[in-house]
Amino acid sequence: MLHATLLSFSALYATSNTPLRSGCVPVGGVHSLYYEVHGKACGAPALFLHGGPGAGCFRRHAGFFDPTHYQIVLFDQRGCGRSTPKGCLEENDTVRLVEDCEALREHLGIKRWALVLGGSWGATLALAYAAAFPRRVRALVLRAVCLMRPREIAWLFGDMGGARRLLPAGWSSFEAVRAKHVALSQSPAEGEDPPSGNDEDAPPIEVLRWYARALATEGALRAEAAGGWLHWESAVFSECSRLPSLVDGGAEASVWGWRPAEARWLRGDGVELGADTVRQALCEGFEARVGAALASRPVQDKVAASVSAAAAGAIAKADRSTATGAQKGRRGAARHTQHDDNQRSSADASGARGPQGSAGDSGARSGWVPAQAMLTAHYSLHGAFMESNLGRVGTDDAADGCAHNGEPAFTLLKAVPRFRHIPCVAVHGGNDLICPPQTAYELHRAWPEMTLRVVHGAGHSMYDGGLQAEVIKATDSFRHLDHMTDVDSNFKSL
């Protein structure tokens, strides 16, 4: 009964098929951003930042906000969704995406965002934007905390990463695509990719490096690489939601929350948790618990074999045809892709042209572009460009925590002093294999003023029942903030 109540509570708000406003914003160079506005015309301005990078926005994302209170802004980041040109890597980095958020705010006549919600990669971008323009953000909600540090990237895509250790069959199929082309001397040409790391201890990422180069090419090689990439993401993403809760207790006990005002951890049933218990569950003991859960399931071998067979099928089809065949081999994986909206149509997830809901070209034409795979590989290979001039972005005089002139590279953890004053609720799945909960815990340690809710039994998808409920609860919790000064009079003409 309790579980059923939780799922009912987590229902998304109804969203209109007709936005209040939509359009495109040129952001310099070749890029143009598509955006939509939903909800209440003069409501509290709320910005949704999608994951990926490259996943794109969908109208269903507006359902995480109360449409009678919020004026909800969705937009497709550079190179994906309905923004153009699709799959373009030129002038596509975190610095420019942060500046795009600001350009969109100015375009819409919004003085300050009452709320910014970002999930997975979107959480990274939300924090980077708050670090650059803290006066433009009144409150934050983060889902699946991700900081895009080298070890986080290595967990998912590293040659010796945790995801590889937990799902060896899926990784074997992922790596097999690269191995085949290396053996045939058909690898993409060397580019100007960064080295494996400036540190001798940097985790090896040669498989990621090969995929990033292959996806930046055209033709059959890119199609085959896209198939292998999306099947690996599908294997990890879907496993998150199939795992049982890794902690003991019923539905109420499965939600662990850090309460900043009380400086303590509590389960949903009111039982206090010791700091060591929390750290062990979310950090040191996480991989062992997941491994034990996988090993205890008799169906695990069948799941792994199914994933392996699906990936092998995609490779074989790509060998026999061009991008059309690869797209057909990918459609099953598209339903469970890592990034934020597992309700997308397979055509759109595969990079089809045209607006949401129109299958359009569906990838069957020669112009098919696997934008999501391309952008995720691009950003992952380059560490989300955190070592660029990201620490200098923004007009606000909040330079604490940035890195200059030989100091350590900019990181979002070092930048916490810039946005420490901003109210924030972070929600994380206890079974998240894409963004392991250790990252959320470490952000909490650096930012104890942040409320953190860990939903055990939930994975990476924002639509996992308990996770969805907590995200909606978080956005609802900020409805009390006064927002009338956040909307420019020009925007009230909607």
pLDDT tens profile 20-43: 999 999 998 899 999 999 999 999
CB contact burial 312-344 (16+ within 10 A = b; e otherwise): bebbebbeeeebbbbbbbbbbbbebbbbbbbeb
Question: CB-based contacts of 185: which residues, under 8 Å, 6+ apart?
Answer: none
**Domain extent for 126:** 21-149+248-295+384-394+409-478
**Bridge partner residues of 137 (DSSP):** 113
> Lowest-confidence range among 82-91, 272-281, 397-406, 476-485?
397-406
Residue 168: count other Cβ atoms within 10 Å of its Cβ.
12
Dihedral class, residue 363 (left if φ above 0, else alpha if ψ from -120 to 50, else beta)? left
Pick from 172, 190, 329, 300: which is nearest to 238 by CA?
A: 300
Q: What is the mean pLDDT of residues 130-143?
A: 97
CB atoms within 10 A of CB 82: 21
What is the share, in percent, of the chain residues with pLDDT greater than 90? Answer: 66
Q: Please write the tens of the pLDDT for every residue from 258-315.
A: 999 999 999 999 999 999 999 999 999 999 999 999 998 765 445 444 544 544 454 4
**Rounded Cα distance, 403 and 418, in Å:** 13
pLDDT for 46 equals 98
- Over pLDDT 70: what percentage of the chain? 73
pLDDT of residue 156: 97
CATH at residue 448: 3.40.50.1820
User: What pLDDT does 41 receive?
Assistant: 94
Residue 145 falls inside a structural domain:
yes
Sheet holding 451-455, edge to edge: 21-26, 32-39, 70-75, 44-49, 115-119, 140-143, 424-429, 451-455, 255-259, 264-267, 272-273
**CA pseudo-torsion sign 92, 93, 96, 100:** positive
Distance CA 88, CA 371 (A): 8
Nearest 5 degrees, angle CA 406-CA 411-CA 413?
130
Asked, for residue 200, whether it belongs to a domain, the answer is no
Within-domain flag for 279: yes
- The number of domains in the chain is 1
The angle that helices 2-9 and 465-477 make with each other, rounded to 10 degrees, is 50
What is the tens place of the pLDDT at every residue in 366-390? Answer: 567 899 999 999 999 999 998 766 6
Give the chain's mean pLDDT: 81
Q: Which residue has the tokens 């990033």?
A: 212
Residues 418-428 have a mean pLDDT of: 97
The answer to whether residue 403 is domain-embedded is no
Per residue, the 3-state secondary structure of the chain, as one string, reads CHHHHHHHHCCCCCCCCCCCEEEEEECCCCCEEEEEEEECCCCEEEEEECCCCCCCCCHHHHHHCCCCCEEEEEECCCCCCCCECCCCCCCCCHHHHHHHHHHHHHHCCECCECEEEEECHHHHHHHHHHHHCHHHECCEEEECCCCCCHHHHHHHHCCCCHHHHHCHHHHHHHHHHHHHHHHCCCCCCCCCCCCCCCCCCCCCCHHHHHHHHHHCCCCHHHHHHHHHHHHHHHHHHHHHHHCCCCCCCCCHHHEEEEECCCCEEEECCCCEECHHHHHHHHHHCHHHHHHHHHHCCCCHHHHHHHHHHHHHHHHHHHHHCCHHHHHHHHHHHHCCCCCCCCCCCHHHHCCCCCCCCCCCCCCCCCCCCCHHHHHHHHHHHCHHHCCCHHHHCCCCCCCCCCCCCCCCCCCCCCCHHHHCCCCEEEEEECCCCCCCCHHHHHHHHHCCCCEEEEECCCCCCCCCHHHHHHHHHHHHHCCCCCCHHHECHHHHHC
Strands 70-75 and 264-267: unpaired
If we measure between CA atoms, which residue out of 297, 290, 333 comes closest to residue 429?
290
- Domain presence at residue 141: yes
Whether 166 is covered by a domain: the verdict is no
281 in a structural domain = yes
205 located within any domain: no
Region of poorest pLDDT, from 48-57, 132-141, 354-363, 460-469: 354-363
252 pLDDT band (50/70/90 cuts)? confident
pLDDT digit string, tens, across residues 148-170: 999 999 999 999 999 999 999 99
What does the pLDDT average to over 128-153? 97
What pLDDT was estimated at residue 139? 98
Looking at the predicted structure, is the pLDDT value of residue 73 above 80? Answer: yes
